[in-house]
Structure 1
């Protein structure tokens, strides 16, 4: 009987599929305001860093962050133009600051997907030469 209680407790800890889908700009704004050593602030920092790194395989299209595809339709070997070019030596806290500032200047984006919000902020702050 104890094992059933443990299994039920563990099952309730698994996030619902819609939980990640609800990560919008408003969630990002709230989470990134948390104290520096809080779990929520760690989520913010990690999420921003993840999107910044995902620039290698994703691109922003029509407000959505979508996989970049190679000519054969696969993600493998896709080398499309980068949407933002981070300067050498840029840090996670700097990227979070850029995103927070961008959100403050664009409150109309609070209902957008959090990853797309980050992508837009980074694209505006760090455009690639030739864009």
Structure 2
């Protein structure tokens, strides 16, 4: 149990040190989607931000079932990172008033709402 809390805390601290919010995360997620859908070659910055978005989505997706109940998410078996990035980008576009919040909190909230545990 302590390991889960430490892991969650580490995840939150990583993005807290970067001071990253949805305003910086959304363009990266969109760059990732554009590269997948259109085969667009991203700039170095877009590639970095897209990889950051995908990595954050993967981390929250894997840790989701271990989070406290009010934050917990359970992605279905076979859900891909690309699917997760699409979900997060869509959620941020539909909830722009939250873009000022921490990026980890945004991804966690999007997954919690889209993939609630049963």
TM-score range normalised by the length of the shorter chain: 0.5 to 0.7
In 2, are the aligned partners of 1:48 and 1:96 still within 8 Å (CA)? Answer: yes
Q: 2:3 maps to what in 1?
A: none
Select the structure of larger CA radius of gyration.
1
After TM superposition, the structure 1 = structure 2 runs for residues 32-111 of structure 1, keeping only pairs within 5 Å, are 32-34=29-31, 35-36=34-35, 38-59=47-68, 83-111=72-100
Using the alignment, how far apart are the partners of 2:18 and 2:49 within structure 1?
A: 17
Deviations along 1:64-106, whole A, 9 cap, x unmatched?
xxxxxxxxxxxxxxxx687111101000000000000000110
Question: How many corresponding residue pairs?
Answer: 93
In 2, are the aligned partners of 1:31 and 1:40 still within 8 Å (CA)? Answer: yes
Q: Name the structure with the higher strand share.
A: 1
In 1, are the aligned partners of 2:71 and 2:109 still within 8 Å (CA)? Answer: no
RMSD of aligned Cα (Å): 2.5
Q: Which stretch has the larger CA shift, 31-40 or 94-103?
A: 31-40
Q: 2:22 maps to what in 1?
A: 25
Using the alignment, how far apart are the partners of 1:106 and 1:32 within structure 2?
A: 15
In 1, are the aligned partners of 2:88 and 2:110 still within 8 Å (CA)? Answer: yes
- For normalisation by structure 2, the TM-score amounts to 0.67
Q: 1:65 maps to what in 2?
A: none
Unmatched segments (≥5 aa) in structure 2: 1-13, 36-41
Deviations along 1:15-48, whole A, 9 cap, x unmatched?
xx99834111111112112252622211111111
Unmatched segments (≥5 aa) in structure 1: 1-16, 60-79
In 2, are the aligned partners of 1:83 and 1:127 still within 8 Å (CA)? Answer: yes
Using the alignment, how far apart are the partners of 1:18 and 1:87 within structure 2?
A: 25
